[in-house]
Structure 1
Amino acid sequence: MIQELSSTEFRPVENEPDASRVRFRHRYRTGTTPAGQRSQRAEWADAAKGFCIILVVLWHVVVKDYLQFDWHVGVPVPGLWGTLGEQFLPLRMPLFFTISGVFAANAAQRPWRVVARSRIAGFLYLYAVWLLIHTAILAAAPELPTDRATSPLGLLEQLTITPSNLWYLYALALYFTIAKATRRVPRVLVLVPAAVLSAVAAAGLLDTPGNRAGLYQNLIFFLAGLYLRPQIHRWAATASRRRLVLTSGAYVLALAAMALAGAQEWFGVWPAVSVVAVIFGITAAARVARLAVLSDPLARLGRITLPIYVIHMPVLALLHRLLLVPVSGLGRPAQGLIVLGYPVLLTGLVIALSLGIHRGLLAVRARWLFALPGSRRVEAAG
């Protein structure tokens, strides 16, 4: 039911000379699959990406802004938001990287010179440019609790061995290099070490300053998406309501068991729970894709995740500086009115402002902020 991607079909970030937008996009061969089936396949992947980017922004809103306020409402609502956000940690980035791997499969088969420029150099360029922007803007909002370079040596470290909040871009460049270099190696000899690395990092057995933990833990999910693309397509195509119930139940049970046993840092437990989460996420996205009222807005968001990802942190930092004192100083009745819905409202505002800034930058021909100059298009996975 689901058509295989050709080498030019998935172009999540495009920057053509006459393009009016830079965004994540799917393209398909014509004449091989009915249009409805092609759309459904694009919808579930984009809907999953859209949901993941919402979770990314929401998590940052909660832990870097919302929980930093002085709430005196007499009810544990802020703590509940923090706990809720933690339940999506095994799902958020593992699912994002799995989808990235799915759509990287054809790109990894291209010649080294193509992969090195369009993928590896393209992602490293975006990472470096936006790291400099983040460093400058975050310096104006020291109250925001997030990793930032405060010296030339710290900046050099973030550029090289300890990635910043933009580590997803850094990771994709590294993962593409690994995928390309090991393309002729038996898959088991690549997947097993990646799985062990994930388990070791999740168990706290490696030094993981900054965002190295995410870098170590998610390679296995990118490679799984890369190698298991046909199986993932079939799983999404055959997703049923019964399977959704079973996978969601399995995810809830896995989270509960891990929490009750305090097993978050037991060797292999976190990656195993993340696998369950990814299976649930793909199933849920495939089911959502059949409901236009839900899938359409999520899929639209999923096609423009790059600008949201790179812009939202500076936006959040400036909003945090603006809101920290006024919100903390509100009286109990006023705080009671906003404490429950604040994370949702601010997440929506941050995403809207990020997209608005993106449109403004494109309007002033700052496309170089979203694509490697001199290249017809810079492609991203997922």
Structure 2
Amino acid sequence: MTPIGTMPAHGGFRTSAAARVDWVDYAKGICIVMVVMMHSVLGVELAADKTGFMHGLVAFAKPFRMPDFFLISGLFLPLVIDREWRTYLDRKVVHFAYFYVVWVTIQFGFKAHGLAAETGWREVGWLYLESFIEPFGTLWFIYLLPVFFVVTKLTRRFPPLAIWLIAAALETARITTGWTAIDEFCARFVYFYSGYLFADYVFALSDRARSHPRLALAGLAAWAIVNGSLIALGLSEWKFVSLLLGFAGACAIITTGTLLARAHWMNVLRFCGEHSIVIYLAFFLPMASTRTFLLRTEIVPDIGMVSLIVTIAGIIGSLVIWQAALRLRANFLFERPSAFWIVPKKVVGALQAAE
């Protein structure tokens, strides 16, 4: 199974492959936990019409939660961007498109009856078809990744600085069309492209943090104070400020992941990062069911605790679904079957080994 953002060894970096994968997995683990937390907390608070102590954590992570995820997703693109188009599209477009189709269908299967009660079955059918134009629910990330991969390859002959400046301008322009694909592309492409363009600098940052942990910790403390202060003052959404906070937060998560990998602490985050696509695809079901149960029964009166439990249930529940799928031979839920590969697996494997 290939997780979100393939992580082969990068021949241009001098640190060991194991160490590099370790910190990237930690960073991705932090990211996916923050994503699940955001959906869980906001969902609970919306349904309960009140906020809890988890709300502050979600607000703190907002400036960098998705920027970091996209930046990491672009890190290893220099390894594969020069592949011929057929192989490239297979790995970077068909791969994610397959999971989107499978899981948008599953999500509609669970939500169709409720939607039909409100709008009728004909409208549900149109909504399903529309989901291939307008990303559905939590799945917009893997809908957008293939777009980023294709745009980056199409523009690789253009001056990189010009592309980066255009991407940064799109982020600061705050374009709002109502179409998720366009709006999120404009808001997020600069981070993905930065991961691709500045990969050497990102790994250099990780190496420096690994070599100077005390300095790294001091930097993290300073960043946390600045990030939290700007959010508290209501300045984090300002133009240019949001861009800077996005990059600063991404650097902070990279540094945190490096320090955790160096100390071999919190391996659960590394595990979550290794299986980020499993969590991302499946967390909606245990999250929603746990939220509904807790709010209806009111066995946990504190909204903050409800949000925390729902977050944990979303993460653990998605991993349970994954293991159940493997035992029931429903691997197709998390692994792309050979029938949906354009380039045979053994060919792709040989290419990866050559890298």
Shorter-normalised TM-score: what interval?
Answer: 0.7 to 0.9
> 1: CA distance between counterparts of 2:23 and 2:336?
28
**Which of residues 255, 262, 272 in structure 2 aligns to 1:290?**
262
1:310 equivalent in structure 2: 281
1:181 equivalent in structure 2: 154
1:55 equivalent in structure 2: 34
Task: Tell me how large the CA RMSD over aligned residues is.
Answer: 2.8
Length-normalised TM-score, structure 2: 0.84
SS of equivalent to 2:74: helix
Aligned-residue offset at 1:210: 4.8
2:327 equivalent in structure 1: 363
Distance 1:211 1:116, change over 3 A: closer
Residue-by-residue CA offset, 1:264-285 (whole Å, 9 max, x unaligned): 4432221221111111111121
**Which of residues 85, 95, 120 in structure 2 aligns to 1:112?**
85
> 2: CA distance between counterparts of 1:70 and 1:164?
20
8 Å CA contact retained: 1:123, 1:169: yes
Residue-by-residue CA offset, 1:313-334 (whole Å, 9 max, x unaligned): 122222233332112xx5xxx6
Length-normalised TM-score, structure 1: 0.78
> 2: CA distance between counterparts of 1:86 and 1:107?
35
> 1: CA distance between counterparts of 2:9 and 2:250?
25
Correspondence 1:261-272 to 2 at 5 A: 262-272=234-244
Unaligned runs of 5+ in 2: 116-121, 350-355
8 Å CA contact retained: 2:134, 2:179: no
Distance 1:210 1:135, change over 3 A: farther
> 2: CA distance between counterparts of 1:89 and 1:228?
23
Aligned-residue offset at 1:154: 2.6
Q: Which has the higher helix share?
A: 2
8 Å CA contact retained: 1:258, 1:269: no
Aligned-residue offset at 1:298: 1.5
Distance 1:210 1:301, change over 3 A: same
Residue-by-residue CA offset, 1:237-257 (whole Å, 9 max, x unaligned): 111321332244134314423
Q: How high is the sequence identity, in percent, across the aligned residues?
A: 26
For 2:39, give the aligned amino acid. Answer: H
SS of equivalent to 2:63: helix
> 2: CA distance between counterparts of 1:98 and 1:125?
22
8 Å CA contact retained: 1:162, 1:211: yes
Q: Would you identify which runs of 4 or more consecutive aligned residues in structure 1 move more than 6 Å? A: none
2:188 equivalent in structure 1: 218
Aligned-residue offset at 1:309: 0.3
Correspondence 1:47-196 to 2 at 5 A: 47-69=26-48, 78-139=51-112, 151-196=124-169
For 2:312, give the aligned amino acid. Answer: G
8 Å CA contact retained: 2:30, 2:253: no
2:176 equivalent in structure 1: 206
8 Å CA contact retained: 2:104, 2:136: no
1:17 equivalent in structure 2: none
